Chain A
Amino acid sequence: MRSRAMSDVQLTTKDVAELSRLLTAGDVSAVDVTRAHLDRIAAEDGGLGSYLHVDPDAALASAAAVDQARSAGAELGPLAGVPVALKDLVVTEGVPTTSGSKILEGWRPPYSATIASRLADAGTVLLGKTNMDEFAMGSSTENSAYQVTRNPWDPSRIPGGSSGGSSAAVAGHLAPWAIGTDTGGSIRQPAAVTGLVGHKPTYGAVSRYGLIAFSSSLDQAGPMARTVLDAALMHEVIAGYDPRDSTSIDAPVAPLAAVARTGAEGDLRGVKVGVVRELGGEGHTDGYEPGVLARTREAIERLAALGADVVEVSCPSFDLALPAYYLIAPSEASSNLARYEGMRFGLRVGDDGSHDLDEVMALTREQGFGPEVKRRIILGTYALSSGYYEAYYGQAQKVRTLITRDFTAAFDGVDVLVSPTTPSVAFPLGARVDDPLAMYAADLCTLPASLAGLPAISVPSGLSDGLPVGLQIMAPALADDRCYRVAAALEAVQDAARGHRLLDELPSAAGVRA
């Protein structure tokens, strides 16, 4: 029933929909697919730096279990045997989970995140945990306490962040797909700069139980994949009500894979697309690279050519998104990160009998947290302080309301809103590490949807100077299906126009192309 006709290299180039067909048909085994990816990780990840933790034996064992179940005639789901990578803030029982921080080094959680369990229940095989900016704070993955991750399109450049390990792994064919999380853009921006599809679901659509919190009112997990269909397939697995998450929405999950397949047929007649002026539109182009704006314009023209009705809309409050976000997220983070004091798990520093309790806590946090994390804890602590609360946190919450109102008004007239995902292509490693504000600007376009809790997808719109550009498609709450529909249409028409997928142009993919 198994065939070794397909080489490891071929297996790592398959997208998930195809792997699913091959596995279900018995043309390949889960062990084959898993081993192919493990081999590639072993060969390539020394240079790429996408994974923090890989356990080949555990991965092969769970792949073998899938194969055994399948050969015993068990009814398995379509994704059984498909390997997956998880961002290292997804809590996995018994598997090291660090959130990219020294303060959690060596922690083996006693439980699993809901989404980790759902992926496991679907029969997917955990390849490993991917690198990230410490506690998801960053846009380049350079804030990881452990290692640098490189962009497969150009190893001298960043893979985006904070889900940069996931983006690099998937773009570099070290995983067919991966979980990312997005607080202010951490799925969409790394997806955009590595030529992937990344979707941030509606806030509450995917359980946060077991995701190490950065900013509770903003965090959402979502898929990072090489195709819109694959992203939809993963979304269907992880989404849905979870009684363990109070903010989880009890609503049915739309048949997103079906929506993506239909969307790929390319008919957008009747779909109203709003182009957000404040995100790279006329009079708002400062900081946007011309190549990014050009690809965005072309993508919008393609949508129009597919029948979409394109109009420009204005959302004036979006200009305030960046300052509001950098008050709300650090405020919540300053509280969420208070539990890391060395008492119950992870790092403990100074417990040698010469320091009292307060000193041990302070030393642990001093040595366990990196500079960006400390910066945000200080910022958030200040913003929540008595006497400043109203002026900062309170004011930022009001801006959040204004942004939500702008969206509501815009969606009165259009079905989706579009913008570039990021103002620039992947920047060189080290270029912005000493300039936090420049680093924060990478999130300019993704922050509004985060603050309003709305779904938003990033889909490739082409290359600029050989580097990927992403188009962001935003939709009203719980209308995630619209993101997938429009993204699938754009993806299909672009692939057809260039005659191959964008990722096939990946320079480092030369060796992996089928």
Chain B
Amino acid sequence: MTTTTGDRLVEFDDVVARYEPVIGLETHVELGTASKMFCGCPTTFGAEPNTQTCPVCLGMPGSLPVANAAAIEATIRIGLALGCRIASWCRFARKNYFYPDIPKGFQTSQYDEPLCTAGHLDVEVDGETYRVEIERVHLEEDTGKNLHVGGATGRIHGADHSLVDFNRAGIPLVEIVTRPVPGVGARAPEVARAYVAELRDIVQALGVSDVRMEQGSLRCDVNTSLAPVGSLEWGTRTETKNVNSLRSVERAVRFEMRRQAAVLDDGGRVLQETRHFHEETGSTSPGRSKEEATDYRYFPEPDLVPIAPDAEWVEKLRVDLPELPAARRARLQQEWGLPATEMTWLVNAGALGLVEETVAAGASPAEARKWWLGELARRANDAGVDLTGLAVTPAQVAELTRLVAEGTINDKLARQALDGVLAGEGGPAQVVEARGLAVMGESDELVAAVDAAIAGAPDVVAKVQAGKVQALGALVGAVMKTTRGKADAATVKRMLEERIVVS
């Protein structure tokens, strides 16, 4: 299948000068419950295909579902964190359609009676706050996974045969649907991204999912439409399916805006359709057309009793919600005395929690921030991992800053000590000891190095003595080199001056 890199695209600035976008997001979060939504099978990611199945999640004749109470609780907590109204009574519904990855011939979902409704999420882009209204939060079951073998695209068309893995079938899935978000203009791509990022952080703070986009435990469908600026009606929307990283969310909206603008400019009509996003090119291409649209024939699931959450219990869940990301950011910003932009950097780098823990372990906020956004960010980038993927703990980072503050090591030695920590040689103090990284005092070794530097560069000494004090730097450098950076530069400079200038 070809991607639509052949689509004509309008320059983004030009798009937003003439068109107003409306975006909408449907986000699926796989819950991290120990067992599946309607049976006792485990939910571990990455197990051998079809090893985590039973008659219920395979849809065997006669089997019946029983709702997972932990999943219902997690969904209500997500709803509460988004300020939703929690239904006092609601039902599951059957969404009927045929596909090999849905074992029962229907997906157990919720239809006109979602568990949570009418919430909102405020997101910040460039210091400005945008309110995203939440239409509904409901609970359903995930499908199995199809693997289409043969053919070029990995899609079913052109495949020789298909395999189905039902390990994922029946894993609880929470769907969070926004209302259409108008009025975001040129910020639409960033608002979409910020919304997903904030939602991810909330779900993570609630501890109900590991929200790993790369493993598919958080998946996004992005709706985009364009209408001419000043138009009273919204345009026709497209739904870009399975956009699976924050960056892709932003790119998908941007691409759709540019593509749709070109269609509209040409006097064309945007088709209401499902589109696929292509990671490699950042483009979208048409998927299933609505001609094949299924009538899902929703009706209340008779095999499950209605959910009727007790009001007092819901209230207790509300009271027991953890501190949510926005509140936490505000608190930390105040505690650390950081400007808003620096907080944003920390958040975007995924360093907020690490800095917080590093500060808790005794580092100053400024030092902690400097390490995580500087040296450690570089290391992570080089290694191609997240900050959390580095083999160094916040406590160890705090220890490094303490060793520097105490003068045991300098910044350069600290970086060498970090090398040792990352190489698994132990904690910073251990590495400093083992590698002999401590800063040298005015030892015989240092005196010898200073004398050798003076003896080895009579021309430089002459320049200094002639008044070119800045030439001293070359001698300091020579000493630092001899001592492999373990000397304290200020001490070396003083010793050199004592020997050359004052004599």
Residue numbers of A with Cβ under 8 A of B are 89, 91, 97, 99, 104, 107, 109-111, 113, 208-213, 215-217, 243-247, 331-332, 334-335, 337-341, 343-345, 357-358, 361, 381, 384-386, 389, 393
Contact = CB atoms under 8 A, between A and B. Distances in A.
A208 B64 contact: yes
Interface stretch (B102-110, B308-316, B400-408, B494-502): B102-110
A339 B59 contact: yes
Given A246-B65, A246-B303, A339-B103, A109 B156 contact: no
Nearest to B99: A357
A209 B105 contact: no
B295 A385 contact: yes
B62 A211 contact: yes
A393 B299 contact: yes
6 contacts: A109-B60, A209-B63, A211-B62, A216-B303, A246-B303, A389-B297
B123 to A, nearest CB: 35
B299 A246 contact: no
B156 A339 contact: no
B61 A339 contact: yes
Interface string B37-78: 000000000000000000100111111111100000000000
A247 B305 contact: yes
A110 B105 contact: no
A343 B164 CA distance: 10
Given A110-B55, A111-B55, A335-B94, A244 B295 contact: no
B62 A212 contact: yes
A344 to B, nearest CB: 6
Nearest to B303: A216
A251 B55 CA distance: 26
A366 B155 CA distance: 27
A51 B340 CA distance: 78
Task: Name the 5 nearest CB pairs between A and B, nearest first.
Answer: A338-B105, A217-B302, A384-B297, A216-B302, A91-B62
B100 interface: yes
A381 B299 CA distance: 11
Contacts of B94: 335
A334 B63 CA distance: 17
Contacts of B164: 343
Contacts of A110: 55, 60
Contacts of A332: 299, 302
A462 B469 CA distance: 126
Given A91-B62, A243-B66, A339 B105 contact: yes
B294 to A, nearest CB: 10
Contacts of A99: 61
A209 B62 contact: yes
Given A110-B60, A213-B62, A361-B98, A335 B106 contact: yes
Contact of A97 (B58, B61, B305): B61
Contacts of B264: none
Contacts of B396: none
Nearest to B296: A386
A113 B295 CA distance: 33
Nearest to A218: B302
A87 to B, nearest CB: 12
Residue of A110, A211, A384 with highest tally of chain B CB at under 10 A:
A384
A226 B61 CA distance: 30
B96 interface: yes
A371 to B, nearest CB: 20
Interface in B153-192: 156, 162, 164
A104 B105 CA distance: 16
Contacts of A343: 100, 164
Contacts of B61: 91, 97, 99, 104, 107, 109, 212-213, 339-340, 345
Nearest to B100: A343
B149 to A, nearest CB: 13
B59 A335 contact: no
A345 B106 contact: no
Contacts of A386: 295, 297
- What does DSSP make chain A's interface, helix, strand, loop or mixed? loop
A81 B33 CA distance: 44
Given A104-B61, A331-B299, A338-B105, A384 B96 contact: yes
Nearest to B164: A343
B275 to A, nearest CB: 22
Interface of B: 55, 58-67, 94, 96, 98, 100, 103-106, 156, 162, 164, 295, 297-299, 302-305
B299 A113 contact: no
Residue of A110, A113, A217, A338 with highest tally of chain B CB at under 10 A:
A338
A244 B299 contact: no
A358 B294 CA distance: 14
A116 to B, nearest CB: 10
A211 B103 CA distance: 17
Nearest to A90: B62
B64 A209 contact: yes
Given A216-B303, A338-B104, A210 B62 contact: yes
A357 B100 contact: yes
Contacts of A208: 64
Residue of B66, B96, B106 with highest tally of chain A CB at under 10 A:
B66
Contacts of B64: 208-209, 244-246
Nearest to A92: B62
A362 to B, nearest CB: 9
B134 to A, nearest CB: 25
A247 B65 CA distance: 10
A89 B65 CA distance: 18
B57 to A, nearest CB: 11
Given A332-B302, A343-B100, A246 B67 contact: yes
Contacts of A345: 60-61
B297 A381 contact: yes
Given A99-B61, A209-B63, A384-B297, 13 more contacts: A97-B62, A104-B61, A109-B60, A212-B62, A243-B66, A246-B66, A247-B302, A247-B303, A338-B106, A339-B61, A340-B105, A341-B100, A389-B299
Residue of A334, A335, A389 with highest tally of chain B CB at under 10 A:
A335
A217 B305 CA distance: 10
A244 B106 CA distance: 20
Contacts of A212: 61-62
Contact of B60 (A111, A216, A338): A111
Given A209-B62, A339-B59, A357 B156 contact: yes
A239 to B, nearest CB: 17
Contacts of B65: 246
Nearest to A109: B60
B306 to A, nearest CB: 10
A404 to B, nearest CB: 15
B59 A344 contact: yes
A59 to B, nearest CB: 22
A384 B299 contact: yes
A256 to B, nearest CB: 25
Nearest to A243: B66
A286 to B, nearest CB: 32
Given A341-B105, A343-B100, A246 B305 contact: yes
Nearest to A216: B302
B55 A338 contact: no
A381 B98 CA distance: 13
Contacts of B304: 246-247
Nearest to B67: A246
Contacts of B103: 339, 344
A358 B100 CA distance: 10
Given A247-B305, A345-B61, A357-B156, A338 B96 contact: yes
Contacts of B100: 341, 343, 357
B61 to A, nearest CB: 4
Contacts of A209: 62-64
Contacts of B62: 89, 91, 97, 109, 113, 209-213
A115 B61 CA distance: 15
A333 to B, nearest CB: 11
Nearest to A110: B55
A411 B64 CA distance: 32
